[in-house]
Structure 1
Amino acid sequence: MIRELRVSGFRILKNFVWKPKEGLNILVGANAAGKSTVLDAIELVTRGSIRGQSSRRSLSPDWFNKNMVDTFFRELDDPLKNRNVPKIQIVAVFCEDQRLARITGANDPDGKFESAPGIYLTYTVPPELLPQFLEECRSIKEIGGPFILPTDFYVCSWGVFQGNQIVRRPDGVSCTRIDTVPESRSRAVDAYAKSYVSEELDDDKMHEVSSQFRRISAQVDRDILSGIAVNCSGRGDLGLQMDRSPRTDWTNSIVLHRSGLPLYALGSAEQTLTKCAVSLENASSESILLLEEPESHLSYSWLNDLVKIIAGAASKDRQIFVTTHSPFVLNRLGLDNLSLMAEGNNPSKISNLSEDTVRYFKRLSGYDTLRIVLANKAVLVEGPTDELVFDWAFRKERGKLPHEAGIDVIECGTSHKRLLELAAVLRKSGIVALRDNDGENPDRWIASAKPYLSNDREFFCGMPEGGDTIEPQMISANTDHLQTLASIVRQRDKSTDNLVGFMTKHKTEWALRLLEAQRSDSEVLSAPSYILKAINFIDPAPEGTEHE
């Protein structure tokens, strides 16, 4: 298993260091954060290839870190600058294992380990080609760019810490990338189907089928194709015959089917799950598995089967790397396996998240934990009424909606404490929790979450004198404007009892009417004080303009 992965100069990964967990690792992050690049790096260094293509043939100028390339070209002609020729280096250090004795040594490219099992892959310009390389780069710069490295000068080196260069995957290092994207054919699935034929049919039966296939091909040649001539511009007529090369062997025509329909003719969800299961079965001896967004093309109901397949593949001898955008997949596979990526930076790993919270979200996996994981700033509210009122109050105070200020308002029921715990272990700032007091002293609710609060994370609760829930709190904040409030929520009777009764019975509806009302009408109203405190905490007003 990989205990440390180091990547430098590869796409968005400039100086990347990660110590993944043994077993299951779930990589999450915004788009373009580098999740797929991490999987590509692992595949390259462990297999010496990527998506079936040799590492030596697959190098592209786009593989090099853009910032490093731009800096190199800008400083190319400056004698005072230390010219660093862009290079790519990927290093995988493995856990101690007797099976990895042949790759154990002291030749860690970074000199970090005196002796360890490891493997590395680099793309560099050799010294003898450096003058020509620099001359070519200067000519690229002189014509005004774009700044694209001439990769034909680069050589690929694949080696192990023992000191040897290698040309094939060393014993004890095994990695499979499982592609679950629906497509007409899949090499992994086709190979799996062919292997079953080889296992189920003995040699005599295989020879018999091959003989029949040859006889049919010969009959087609003799009775049909022999009568067709192909003109060839005076060089003699050509004829047609069946292809007799190995690619047309009858076993290459075998596909998996269900109820007579080939796999590629089934729905995308069926294809995804089947390919995932088949690939995992086919890779039963592989110690490293890579899965990129396996939830793609799956409806919510199918995700349970997917998670079961992935969880079943995990073992003490296998390391699985999964990238996902699905909170369901994340929750079910376990938040304690999460590593958060942000723009190519080293991942933030979950640590000290309580087993109770991990188990809670496994069981109640509908919570969108990814929203708080990925949010720059977040407000945790109980339900849709609270979200609508907060949106209205924020727009009134700041002139725009929360999402326009980079703030995500997340409904979480009464799971504030657990999500604050998640935010705390990720060291996230700009997190606010809001809830009703429900007839209790607010200190009761805030105290339970206190271990996870800080100068950057806070909990606000409505005071008892304003009422138990947000409806009486809103009414209490607007005793001088009850007629306006009644008009906005479309009630003729402006009495407190009537408004409390209506708004409590039609929670979301009254809040939606408030948000959608003419701003000239609704903004004469005031927001409850605990909501105003939350707004000023997460988005401080310029000095001297705080709400009075």
Structure 2
Amino acid sequence: YKKIILENIISILENDIPLENKGSGMENLIKTQIALDKSNSKLDVIMIEEPENHLCYTNLQQMLSTINSYSKDSQLIITTHNSMIASRLDLRNILWIETNTNQTSKLDNIDEETAQFFIKLDNNNLLHLLLSKKAILVEGPTEYLLLPYFYKKIYKRTLAQDGITLITCGGISYKRYFDITKNTNIKIAVITDNDEKDTNLSYMKEHNSQSISQKIFMDNDLKNFTWEVALYNCNEQNPDLEKCAGKIDPTADYKFNKVIYGKNGENKPILGKMLNNKVDVAYKILQYEADLQVPKYVKEAFKWINE
């Protein structure tokens, strides 16, 4: 007798289109829905392997919404390499295995406020951080663009070659990243702005005196209140910086945070242009391979992360 496999002759249709012709992502969505529906039949455990596979961002959000709606009906065990899945399903549920030691770690000790912060934060590099040995956290895109360039300029090696992960976390949210790594062995250097506030310098000094594996680095001079100002002040006479800033309009105010940096104000039009065109100037520094001096606090962060 010829063996007949039902899967080969029966197909599920959606809007008259066979499931197998809907694409792997849609197939995953439907199969997940079917599996979770079975939880109404009192299944004790449902296991889902890497639900992010073949899904675009919108469908991944739909998948997470479906999983969350059923999470109380059965025990769900999900494996993933996706930071959004890990954070949206609550960091306090995470277990991960250290590949070098095979030891299991978890984040069930973080507070609810931090867990809720990452649930709402779509764009995060949480798993990159948790799976790192050493990491540098920065505020924004300009630091993210230029730090690898400056690091290689100093050490003649890349961040990746030295096992360092670079993560942009935005503003002071690095404190949230501190919360989730405080009981791990991950070495973290934060490169951030002092924002012209004594309180930020005081916080840095207090934190650094109490922490061994997490350090904050910012310029000690309040005049260097942000990345571009610190970079400008140690390269003010460097023709490469002027080249990267591009053509200066002598009639422009180049106003930033109510300060006029044009010739009718601070008379630092290059700095004014840098502050108003941060990413563009950073890109040109990379494009021209500008030979710039690296701010002291950045070099201190590099040195510490390598110790």
| TM-score, normalising length: structure 1 | 0.49
Residue 270 (1) aligns with residue 26 (2): yes
Corresponding residue of 1:536: 303
Residue 356 (1) aligns with residue 113 (2): yes
Q: Which amino acid aligns with 1:412?
A: C
> Kindly tell me: are residues 262 and 488 of structure 1, through their superposed partners in 2, closer, same or farther at Cα, counting changes over 3 Å?
closer
C-alpha distance after superposition, 1:395-415 (max 9, x if no partner): 222112212221111111021
Inter-partner Cα distance in structure 1 for 2:52 and 2:5:
35
> Kindly tell me: are residues 404 and 489 of structure 1, through their superposed partners in 2, closer, same or farther at Cα, counting changes over 3 Å?
farther
Inter-partner Cα distance in structure 2 for 1:462 and 1:514:
21
Give the superposed CA RMSD. Answer: 2.8
CA offset at residue 445 of structure 1?
Answer: 5.1
> Kindly tell me: are residues 287 and 462 of structure 1, through their superposed partners in 2, closer, same or farther at Cα, counting changes over 3 Å?
same
Question: Residue 475 of structure 1 contacts residue 482 of structure 1 at CA under 8 Å; is this kept in 2?
Answer: no
For residues 126-525 of structure 1, the aligned pairs below 5 Å read: 247=4, 253-283=9-39, 284-315=41-72, 318-343=74-99, 345-414=102-171, 415-425=173-183, 427-441=184-198, 442-443=200-201, 446=204, 450=207, 454-479=211-236, 481-491=237-247, 497-518=268-289, 522-523=290-291, 525=292
Question: Residue 387 of structure 1 contacts residue 410 of structure 1 at CA under 8 Å; is this kept in 2?
Answer: yes
Inter-partner Cα distance in structure 2 for 1:367 and 1:452:
28
C-alpha distance after superposition, 1:455-482 (max 9, x if no partner): 2210112234442211111111224x33
C-alpha distance after superposition, 1:218-244 (max 9, x if no partner): xxxxxxxxxxxxxxxxxxxxxxxxx7x
Q: Which amino acid aligns with 1:484?
A: D
CA offset at residue 263 of structure 1?
Answer: 1.2
CA offset at residue 246 of structure 1?
Answer: 8.8
CA offset at residue 331 of structure 1?
Answer: 1.1
For residues 28-67 of structure 1, the aligned pairs below 5 Å read: none
Corresponding residue of 1:138: none
Question: Residue 295 of structure 1 contacts residue 303 of structure 1 at CA under 8 Å; is this kept in 2?
Answer: yes
CA offset at residue 355 of structure 1?
Answer: 0.5
Unmatched 5+ stretches in structure 1? 1-242, 541-548
Unmatched 5+ stretches in structure 2? 251-261
Question: Residue 201 of structure 2 contacts residue 220 of structure 2 at CA under 8 Å; is this kept in 1?
Answer: no
Question: Residue 393 of structure 1 contacts residue 531 of structure 1 at CA under 8 Å; is this kept in 2?
Answer: no
Q: 2:189 aligns to what SS in structure 1?
A: strand
Q: Which amino acid aligns with 2:124?
A: Y
Inter-partner Cα distance in structure 1 for 2:30 and 2:97:
29
Question: Residue 93 of structure 2 contacts residue 108 of structure 2 at CA under 8 Å; is this kept in 1?
Answer: no
C-alpha distance after superposition, 1:341-392 (max 9, x if no partner): 1226021111321110100111122212111111221110011111223223
> How many residue pairs align between the two structures?
288
Q: 2:161 aligns to what SS in structure 1?
A: helix
Inter-partner Cα distance in structure 2 for 1:297 and 1:500:
45
> Kindly tell me: are residues 474 and 270 of structure 1, through their superposed partners in 2, closer, same or farther at Cα, counting changes over 3 Å?
same
Q: Which has the higher contact order (CA 8 A, sep 6+)?
A: 1
C-alpha distance after superposition, 1:469-506 (max 9, x if no partner): 11111111224x33332134435689861111110111
CA offset at residue 247 of structure 1?
Answer: 4.4
Question: Residue 436 of structure 1 contacts residue 469 of structure 1 at CA under 8 Å; is this kept in 2?
Answer: yes
